[in-house]
Chains A and B, each alone.
Chain A
């Protein structure tokens, strides 16, 4: 009964490769997010989708491409991986309720990406 799940949990790959991280939520939320947490532990938003529509797109290299096939899934594809992409990537979800956003975001367990 996991609320927000991500796969894989760990990802070790070589520079230049292309990889994907998958995220699914079973909370019935309509908004999903991708965050990056770097080695200094700063958590920064990358993207947000609401009902499969991109609503937040921070300054992220275009090697990163999110895809939302439906509102329960938000995947992250990364092309031409670089050393600096090594980080923990968290997926999260939240819900629009009664004319306002409920700011509570539920996070997945994270995907620890290591680029060699």
Chain B
């Protein structure tokens, strides 16, 4: 079983749509969780951290369910510029303090006019 699993998509949605991505992780000792965004032929960039209480940043909402080892990202009112690959990322270092990030394979989103 992969440490971090995502539905690779692709998701093709019209502008204005709401789209949700899911992710599961296998290491129950994982301590921190993130969504990164990667544009085509570019480097990954942090989109947002994910907290147990859920967190929102504008049109983006992230949720974490530790019991189910499940992470989600909701994008409301999709824009053309949201087209990218969304990477679910888990700090799998467990009890150690090093920032060892494990990446999912990414979910491809294409927003069309």
B-binding residues in A (CB < 8 A): 31, 33, 40-45, 48, 50, 55-56, 90, 94, 100-105, 107-110
Contacts and interface: CB of A to CB of B under 8 A. Distances in A.
A43 B46 CA distance: 14
Contacts of A48: 98-100
Contact of B99 (A42, A101, A108): A101
Given A43-B103, A103-B99, 18 more contacts: A33-B99, A41-B85, A42-B105, A43-B87, A44-B103, A48-B99, A56-B98, A101-B97, A101-B98, A101-B99, A102-B99, A103-B91, A103-B101, A104-B49, A105-B46, A105-B99, A105-B101, A108-B43
A107 B45 contact: yes
B105 A40 contact: yes
B25 interface: no
B106 A50 contact: no
Contacts of A104: 34, 46, 49
A107 B98 contact: no
Interface of B: 32, 34, 42-46, 49, 85, 87, 91, 97-103, 105-106
Contacts of A108: 43
Nearest to A90: B43
Contacts of A50: 98
Contacts of B87: 43
Given A41-B106, A43-B87, A103-B32, A109 B101 contact: no
B98 A55 contact: yes
A107 B41 CA distance: 13
Contacts of A103: 32, 34, 49, 91, 99, 101
B43 A110 contact: yes
